[in-house]
Structure formats: structure tokens, C-alpha cells
């Protein structure tokens, strides 16, 4: 496997690792973007209004469908209706499967994030004259972000891992190596493909962790640059001034 | 001025939270709504800024029917302080305070400058401005809550049990500062509490509500204590209301006795000689009372030994020269020597007074008075 990975030809060739890595990323990104566009606003709405929680249950149920079975079913159902050029007929079922996997964790965690916001905080927000949309944007979303990110990260892991099945329908992606290696009994190629998928997932998760660090308010994540000093814990009284340096007159 | 005009709130399940409430909260004064849980006091408060919509009746803000104003506009013009402060965890202290000015589209720089000014007003050191709520104590959070409600300078403030989630010492501190602040700002305030002592301490007028949302009595704190309207109010106001009513009557000029005191660091021999009935008052070098020293149990003092802080009995409270009868009486009752210490405005010893002398003054005032004589003296507590 190491040998296979060390062969530069396997990286740069047409249909080599670089090409498939890029394809894999594209499948994953499309699915994640669509899932965010669907699940985030919906989750915020459900959390804010407290209505439609059943949608979360339904989404979670969808998650338990077998991926390959669903992929084939969608292909069989959709193929007769798609007469375009190129890969659309394969891409569409693949993306639908990936989106169906990405939406539930994102939706559930967004709803949970909004529901977890302290009721006193929402009460204050509305009581000070924020409109519904402002409460969501200025208060509920920023406070739900840690959970939204955890949903996004788990969705990302799922999608990157599962995007391997694109190759099952003859598309590219890192799954190509897995399926081809298996078929041709080239186990080095197969294992290398699996390893690359895992590495890609880990790198994506790290990137999201960095993004989370810079988007979530320190007040929510609890990362404070300095520990509260004496004047913070001292109740009420005037700020404690540092003691003046003792002056010695020798 | 806030005026309730036969306001009712009936929930779909038939529960009547507030029943035909008529009430006026006069401008520039503190109106306290108090009552047991389920009396509709919070509901009444929240109907003012329409966090809860009344099912019947009208609420007027001066000459404006609150129902005729869009809710978000109405609320931006009303300060709102709640029990657990409800600060936004993701915003720094200063950003929390500028919330309403930001909603109103005010200049950011000016709003920040005003926020810093308000922090000082409510007793928050400026270096807390960049902190997050999670880094503050409960008392500090509550101060930020008050500053945030004041940020757009609303004429009206609604406060829903703002001090009930902090410990008693901090609560008393916040209450005193709240009264001082109100003395400067003169807002129209509606204040909800379940604590009758807080109601009596803070209210210019107190509305006692009974379960089911009926107004049982609306009166000044002194009148409430002196003349409860019915048994419910009498019971709610509590047992020691006679004693508490003394807190509204100035003691006037009490006959003070000269108290021979010794300073910390004086010789024990001198202290024993100065002792009267076994106790001597010990002061600091400027004659600020520090505590009592028991002299009849001092062993034959070695002449070199001096009076130190650790020997003192700190049981006695101090009353200032313009104290209420309650403070003067408490000073006498709490003093281990039976002699209540009276100090001047800067805490210097003036003299002492005994409980029977304070009682005589109480009797005197009762005879002199026509009906309930009690009047409110300053809210500051000398202790």
C-alpha cells in the first residue's frame, strides 16, 4: 500500500489520486452546502417557534435507511426522467443520498442548540424590543453555534466517508480506488483509497474545528484569555487597585 | 405614568391570572407589585410591555394606549430587567449594554461612551467592559442588566424580581444602590417581588396582590404596615410589622449620654477604669466606634498590655444621628452594654442612648401623632 501511494504516477495520472480527491471533495461539498441551506434555517425556525419537532424525528429515521439500497433505488427511479448529457444521471442520486445523510445531524443539533438557549436570555431579547428575526439572528444563532458546529462536523465526517459510494455508480472520487482495487484484487490500491478517505475526513474536521474557534464567541465557548482577576470576583466594591510600590527611604 | 384600566388576563384553560386590575404607577416613582406566587404580579408587569397580551382592558403609558403601538417599538422605549439578568452570553458587557441603542440605530460610538458612563453609574469598574457575562458574579451581572435597561434612557423601567437571585448581602447592596440611582434618575418604575421586606424598602407605593389577580391594597409602605386593609394583607405583611413600621419614623433628637470611650491601643488599665457597668466602648484614633470591651472580666491587667481588636465584642449596631426609630432601637437592643451607639454622618461617636429612652420617644410620638404618624425618612441604612 505504501508502495502504491509512493508511486508518483498514481497521483498525477488522469484519474489519479489528485483527480479523484478533487472529485470526492466536490461531491461532499455540494451535499454539505445544500444540507446547510436546508437544515440550518429550518432548524432555527423549529427551535425558535418550538413547532415542527416531528421533522427532526423524521429526518433521523431517514438516516437509518441503507445507503447502497437507497442509492440504487433512487437511480432506478430517477434514471428514466433524466435525459441530460454527462454524469447527471449518476450524480443526482448520489448527492440526494449524501444530503439525506447530512441533514439529520445538522437539523437535530441546530434545533437542540436553539432550544438550549437560556429562556431568560430569549425573554430579555424579546423584552428589549428585538423582532423575531432579530432574536434568531442576534441571539439564538450565536448561542447555538457550538452545537451547530458539532452537527456540521459529524455531517461532514459522514458525507466524506459515504461519498465513496459515488464510485459504485461509475462516478469518480476516492471510492474509485476502493471499488477498482477490490475488483482487480489490487488490495494495495483498495487500502490506500480507504486510507485517503479517512485522512480527508480528519483534515476536514480539523479545518472545521479552526473555523469554529474563530466564529463562536468566547463568551459562549468559555475560552477566556485571562482568568478573572480579583476585581471580578470581588462583589460590588470599587475596583481593586494594585498596591502602590513600597517606597523605602534608606 | 402607567395606568391599568380594568385589565384582565384569562388563559385559554380558564385560569384567571389577573382580574380587572385598576392601578396607576405615577411618574418618577417606584410602584412595587408584591404578593404570593400565583397572584399575577409578574403577569401584570409583563402586560405593560406586552410580553403577555391582556385579554381585556387597556394599559396606558401616559396618554398612549400600549395596544396601539407595535410591540417591538413599545419595548424599545421601556427598560426591562429580569430575575437572572438574562444577559447575552455571546456579547461582552459593553455590547450587552448597547443592545437597545443598537436596535434603535443610534450612533455606535456615542452608545459605547454612554455605556461606559452607565457602568460607572451602576458601580461596575470600567475594566469589566470587555468581559463576558460568564466571567461576572451574579451581583455584577445584575448590575449589567440594570445598565442595559437604562442604555436608551427610557422613562419607564420594568423590573421583575431583579435582586432575588443573589445572596442577601449583595441584595441589600444592590437595593441601596438602586434607591440611590433612582434618586438621581427619577424613572417611572414598576417592580415585582415576592419579598414584602423588599417591597417596603423600595416602594414609594406598594400594591399587594392576592391569588387570582386581585388588588388587595395599594398604599405607601408606612400605611401598609400601619393599616392593612384586610386579614390577607395583614398576614402577608407579617408579624413584626409594628417593629418594622418604626423604620419609617425618624427618631428625631434623642437625648444622648456622653460615653467615655478608649482608643484601640490604650492600656488595659485605663480601659478598666473607664468601664461602666462592665463595658467600655472602644474607638479608633479618630473616635469611630469599633466595638465593646468587657471590663469586669479583665484579669488584673499587666500594665503593659493594650486594647486590641481581637478582644472586642462586635455585636452592637450603630445608628446615625438622623436614624429612624428602628435603627436607634436596634442599636440599643444589640449593644452588649445596653447602650446604643449613635454616630454622626462621618461615623464619629456622638454618644449613647438606652432602649427605654428610645421607647419613651416612640410613646411620645404616638401621643403626639394624629392617626398614623409615620412618615418616610431617607432610605439609606445606617448600620
CB contact under 8 A, A232 and B86: no
**Nearest C-alpha neighbor of A52 from the set A38, A42, A39, A37:** A42
Taking the C-alpha atoms of residue A99 and residue A93, their distance in angstroms, rounded to an integer, is 10
CB contact under 8 A, A236 and B173: yes
Interface of B with A in 167-206 (CB under 8 A): 169-170, 173-174
CB contact under 8 A, B88 and A218: no
CB contact under 8 A, B73 and A129: yes
**Nearest C-alpha neighbor of B348 from the set B300, B270, B289:** B289
Q: Which residues of B111-136 are buried (b: 16+ CB within 10 A; e: fewer)?
A: bbebbeebbebbbbbeebbebbbbbb
Taking the C-alpha atoms of residue A185 and residue B203, their distance in angstroms, rounded to an integer, is 86
Determine the distance in angstroms separating the CA of B30 from the nearest CA of chain A, rounded to an integer. 20
Determine the distance in angstroms separating the CA of B121 from the nearest CA of chain A, rounded to an integer. 12
Strands B156-160 and B188-193 turn out to be parallel
Q: Which positions in chain B touch A219 (Cβ < 8 Å)?
A: 88-92, 132-134
- Who among B72, B136, B140 is closest to A130 (CB)? B72
- Who among A131, A231, A236 is closest to B170 (CB)? A236
pTM: 0.79
ipTM confidence score: 0.81
Q: Which positions in chain B touch A222 (Cβ < 8 Å)?
A: 134
Determine the distance in angstroms separating the CA of B325 from the nearest CA of chain A, rounded to an integer. 29
Q: pLDDT at position B182, please? A: 95
SS3 B153: coil
CB contact under 8 A, B90 and A236: no
Domains in chain B: boundaries: 2-244, 261-368
Strands B339-343 and B318-320 turn out to be parallel
Strands B16-25 and B2-10 turn out to be antiparallel
Dump pLDDT digits (tens) for A13-60. 888 899 999 999 999 999 999 999 999 999 999 999 999 999 999 998
Q: pLDDT at position B269, please? A: 83
- Who among A118, A232, A239 is closest to B135 (CB)? A232
**B72 to chain A: nearest residue by CA?**
A129
**Nearest C-alpha neighbor of A27 from the set A152, A148, A174, A153:** A174
CATH 1.10.3720.10 correct for A38-217: yes
**A134 to chain B: nearest residue by CA?**
B103
CB contact under 8 A, B51 and A238: no
Determine the distance in angstroms separating the CA of B70 from the nearest CA of chain A, rounded to an integer. 10
Q: Is the pLDDT of residue A245 over 50?
A: no
- Who among B51, B89, B90 is closest to A127 (CB)? B51
Report the interhelical angle of B325-334 vs B355-368 (nearest 10°).
Answer: 160
Determine the distance in angstroms separating the CA of B88 from the nearest CA of chain A, rounded to an integer. 6
Interface of B with A in 252-271 (CB under 8 A): none
**A227 to chain B: nearest residue by CA?**
B135
Mean pLDDT of A118-128: 95
As given in the structure block, the three cell numbers for residue B41 are 404580579
Q: pLDDT at position A11, please? A: 85
Which candidate in B61, B71, B89 is best for mutational testing of the A interface (most A CBs within 10 A)? B89
As given in the structure block, the three cell numbers for residue B146 are 440594570
Q: pLDDT at position A46, please? A: 97
Q: Which of A80-89, A151-160, B100-109, B135-144 has the lowest mean pLDDT?
A: A80-89
**B150 to chain A: nearest residue by CA?**
A128
- Who among A139, A233, A235 is closest to B88 (CB)? A139
Sheet strand arrangement including B318-320: B318-320, B339-343, B349-354
CB contact under 8 A, B80 and A128: yes
CB contact under 8 A, A220 and B90: yes
Question: Which ranges of chain B have pLDDT less than 50?
Answer: 373-383
Q: pLDDT at position A65, please? A: 87
Q: Which positions in chain B touch A114 (Cβ < 8 Å)?
A: none
Interface membership of B74 toward A (CB under 8 Å): yes
**Which carries the bigger pLDDT value, residue A4 or residue A84?**
A4
CB contact under 8 A, B170 and A235: yes
Mean pLDDT of A163-191: 90
Band the pLDDT of A240: cuts 50, 70, 90: very low
**Nearest C-alpha neighbor of B104 from the set B155, B156, B152:** B152
Determine the distance in angstroms separating the CA of A125 from the nearest CA of chain B, rounded to an integer. 8
- Mean pLDDT across chain A: 87
Dump pLDDT digits (tens) for A60-71. 898 888 988 899
Interface membership of B128 toward A (CB under 8 Å): yes
Band the pLDDT of A7: cuts 50, 70, 90: confident
CB contact under 8 A, B148 and A235: no
SS3 B70: coil
SS3 B293: strand
Mean pLDDT of A136-149: 96
Dump pLDDT digits (tens) for A191-229. 999 999 999 999 999 999 999 999 999 999 988 865 544
Taking the C-alpha atoms of residue A30 and residue A92, their distance in angstroms, rounded to an integer, is 11
Taking the C-alpha atoms of residue B379 and residue B68, their distance in angstroms, rounded to an integer, is 38
Q: pLDDT at position A89, please? A: 84
> Domain spanning B261-368: which superfamily?
CBS-domain (3.10.580.10)
Q: Which positions in chain B touch A127 (Cβ < 8 Å)?
A: 49, 51, 75, 80, 82, 86, 158
- Who among B90, B99, B158 is closest to A143 (CB)? B90
CB contact under 8 A, A124 and B173: no
How many Å separate Cα A173 from the centre of its chain? 19
As given in the structure block, the three cell numbers for residue B94 are 459593553
Residue B21 bridge partners (DSSP): B7
Q: Which positions in chain B touch A221 (Cβ < 8 Å)?
A: none
Interface membership of B73 toward A (CB under 8 Å): yes
Determine the distance in angstroms separating the CA of B339 from the nearest CA of chain A, rounded to an integer. 31
Taking the C-alpha atoms of residue A13 and residue A34, their distance in angstroms, rounded to an integer, is 31
How many Å separate Cα B355 from the centre of its chain? 26
**A124 to chain B: nearest residue by CA?**
B86
Q: Is the pLDDT of residue A169 over 80?
A: yes
CB contact under 8 A, B89 and A125: no
Burial class (CB in 10 A: 0-12, 13-18, 19+), A25: middle
CATH 3.40.50.1010 correct for B2-244: no
Amino acid at each position: 500500500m505504501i508502495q502504491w501511494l509512493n508511486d508518483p504516477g498514481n497521483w498525477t495520472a488522469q484519474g489519479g489520486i489528485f483527480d479523484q480527491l478533487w472529485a470526492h471533495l466536490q461531491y461532499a461539498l455540494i451535499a454539505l452546502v445544500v444540507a446547510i441551506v436546508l437544515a440550518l434555517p429550518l432548524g432555527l425556525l423549529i427551535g425558535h417557534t418550538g413547532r415542527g419537532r416531528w421533522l427532526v424525528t423524521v429526518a433521523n429515521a431517514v438516516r437509518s435507511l441503507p445507503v447502497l439500497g437507497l442509492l440504487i433505488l433512487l437511480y432506478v427511479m430517477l434514471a428514466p426522467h433524466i435525459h441530460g448529457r454527462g454524469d447527471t444521471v449518476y450524480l443526482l442520486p448520489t448527492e440526494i443520498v449524501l444530503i439525506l445523510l447530512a441533514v439529520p445531524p445538522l437539523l437535530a443539533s441546530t434545533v437542540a442548540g436553539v432550544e438550549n438557549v437560556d429562556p431568560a436570555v430569549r425573554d430579555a431579547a424579546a423584552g428589549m424590543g428585538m423582532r423575531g428575526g432579530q432574536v434568531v439572528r442576534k441571539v439564538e444563532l450565536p448561542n447555538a453555534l457550538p452545537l451547530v458546529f458539532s452537527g456540521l462536523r459529524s455531517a461532514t465526517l459522514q458525507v466524506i466517508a459515504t461519498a465513496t459510494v459515488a464510485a459504485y455508480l461509475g462516478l469518480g472520487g476516492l471510492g474509485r480506488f476502493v471499488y477498482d482495487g477490490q475488483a482487480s484484487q489490487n488490495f494495495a490500491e483498495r487500502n490506500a483509497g480507504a486510507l485517503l478517505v479517512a485522512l480527508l475526513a480528519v483534515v476536514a474536521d480539523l479545518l472545521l474545528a479552526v473555523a469554529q474557534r474563530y466564529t463562536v464567541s468566547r463568551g459562549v465557548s468559555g475560552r477566556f484569555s485571562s482568568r478573572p482577576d480579583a476585581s471580578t470576583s470581588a462583589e460590588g466594591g470599587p475596583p481593586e487597585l494594585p498596591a502602590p510600590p513600597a517606597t523605602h527611604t534608606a | 405614568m402607567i395606568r391599568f384600566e380594568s385589565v384582565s388576563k384569562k388563559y385559554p384553560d380558564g385560569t384567571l391570572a389577573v382580574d380587572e386590575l385598576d392601578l396607576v404607577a405615577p411618574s418618577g416613582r417606584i410602584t412595587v407589585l408584591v404578593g404570593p406566587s400565583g397572584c399575577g404580579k409578574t403577569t401584570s408587569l409583563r402586560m405593560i410591555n406586552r410580553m403577555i397580551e391582556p385579554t381585556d382592558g387597556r394599559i396606558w403609558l401616559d396618554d398612549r394606549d400600549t395596544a396601539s403601538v407595535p410591540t417591538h417599538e413599545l419595548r424599545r422605549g421601556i427598560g426591562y430587567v429580569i430575575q437572572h439578568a438574562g444577559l447575552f452570553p455571546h456579547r461582552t458587557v459593553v455590547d450587552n449594554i448597547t443592545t437597545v441603542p443598537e436596535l434603535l440605530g443610534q450612533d455606535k460610538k456615542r452608545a459605547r461612551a454612554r455605556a461606559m458612563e452607565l457602568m460607572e453609574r451602576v458601580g461596575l469598574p470600567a475594566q469589566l467592559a470587555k468581559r463576558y457575562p460568564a466571567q461576572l458574579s451574579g451581583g455584577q451581572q445584575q448590575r449589567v442588566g440594570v445598565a442595559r435597561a437604562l442604555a436608551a434612557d427610557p422613562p419607564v423601567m420594568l423590573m421583575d424580581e431583579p435582586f432575588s437571585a443573589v445572596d442577601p448581602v449583595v441584595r441589600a447592596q444592590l437595593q441601596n444602590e438602586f434607591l440611590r440611582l433612582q434618586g438621581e434618575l427619577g424613572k417611572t418604575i414598576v417592580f415585582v417581588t415576592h419579598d414584602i421586606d423588599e417591597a417596603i424598602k423600595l416602594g414609594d407605593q406598594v400594591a399587594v396582590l392576592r391569588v387570582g389577580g386581585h388588588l388587595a391594597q395599594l398604599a405607601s409602605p408606612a400605611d401598609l404596615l400601619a393599616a392593612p386593609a384586610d386579614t390577607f394583607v395583614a398576614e402577608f405583611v407579617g408579624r413584626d410589622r409594628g417593629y418594622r413600621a418604626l423604620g419609617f419614623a425618624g427618631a428625631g433628637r434623642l437625648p444622648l449620654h456622653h460615653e467615655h470611650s478608649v482608643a484601640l491601643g490604650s492600656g488595659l488599665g485605663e480601659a478598666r477604669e473607664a468601664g461602666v457597668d462592665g463595658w467600655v466602648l472602644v474607638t479608633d484614633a479618630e473616635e469611630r466606634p469599633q466595638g465593646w470591651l468587657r471590663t469586669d472580666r479583665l484579669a488584673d491587667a499587666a500594665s503593659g498590655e493594650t486594647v486590641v481588636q481581637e478582644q472586642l465584642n462586635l455585636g452592637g449596631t450603630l445608628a446615625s444621628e438622623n436614624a429612624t426609630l428602628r435603627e436607634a432601637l436596634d442599636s440599643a437592643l444589640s449593644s452588649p452594654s445596653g447602650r446604643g451607639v449613635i454616630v454622626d454622618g462621618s461615623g464619629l461617636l456622638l454618644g449613647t442612648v438606652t432602649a427605654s429612652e428610645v421607647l419613651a420617644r416612640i410613646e411620645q410620638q404616638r401621643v403626639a401623632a394624629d392617626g398614623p404618624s409615620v412618615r418616610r425618612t431617607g432610605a439609606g441604612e445606617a448600620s
